[in-house]
Structure 1
Amino acid sequence: MKIRQLNPTDAEEYLSIRLEALKDSPYAFASSYEEEKNQSAEKYKNRFDSPVSSFTFGAFEDSQLVGVVTLVKQQLFKLRHRASIVAMYIKPEKRGNGIGKALVSNVIQKAQKLDGIEQIYLTVVTTNSPAKKLYSSCEFEIFGKEKRALKLDNTYYDEEHMVLFL
Structure 2
Amino acid sequence: MQFAINKLSGADAADYRDLRLEGLFNNPESFGASLDDESLLSVEDFAQRLNGGAVFGARRAGTGALIGAVGLRIPTASKTKHKGAIWGMYVRPDMRGSGIGAALIKHVLDYAGPIVEEVTIVVGASNVAAYNLYLKMGFEQYGFEKRALKIGQSYHDEVLMALVLKPIPTP
- TM-score of the alignment, normalized to the shorter chain, above 0.5: yes
Q: CA deviation at 1:7?
A: 1.3
Residue 17 (structure 2) aligns with: 15
CA-based RMSD: 0.9
What CA distance in whole angstroms lies between the structure 2 residues aligned with 1:47 and 1:127? 28
What CA distance in whole angstroms lies between the structure 2 residues aligned with 1:146 and 1:35? 23
Please report the TM-score for the alignment, with normalisation by the length of structure 2: 0.91
Q: Secondary structure at the match of 2:126?
A: coil
Residue 105 (structure 1) aligns with: 106
- Do structure 1's residue 56 and structure 2's residue 55 form an aligned pair? yes
What CA distance in whole angstroms lies between the structure 2 residues aligned with 1:123 and 1:158? 10
Unaligned runs of 5+ in 1: none
Residue 83 (structure 1) aligns with: 84
What CA distance in whole angstroms lies between the structure 1 residues aligned with 2:144 and 2:41? 31
The percent identity for this pair of structures is 37
Q: Which has the higher helix share?
A: 1
Letter in 2 for 1:97: S
Alignment of 1:12-161 (within 5 A): 12-49=14-51, 51=52, 54-61=53-60, 62-114=63-115, 117-161=116-160
Question: Once the two structures are superposed, what CA deviation does each residue of 1:121-165 show, in whole Å capped at 9, x if it has no partner?
Answer: 011011100100111111000000001111112111110100000
Q: Secondary structure at the match of 1:79?
A: coil
Please report the TM-score for the alignment, with normalisation by the length of structure 1: 0.94
Q: Secondary structure at the match of 2:159?
A: strand
Count of aligned residue pairs for this structure pair:
161
Q: Which runs of 4+ in 1 moved over 4 A?
A: none
Q: CA deviation at 1:26?
A: 0.7
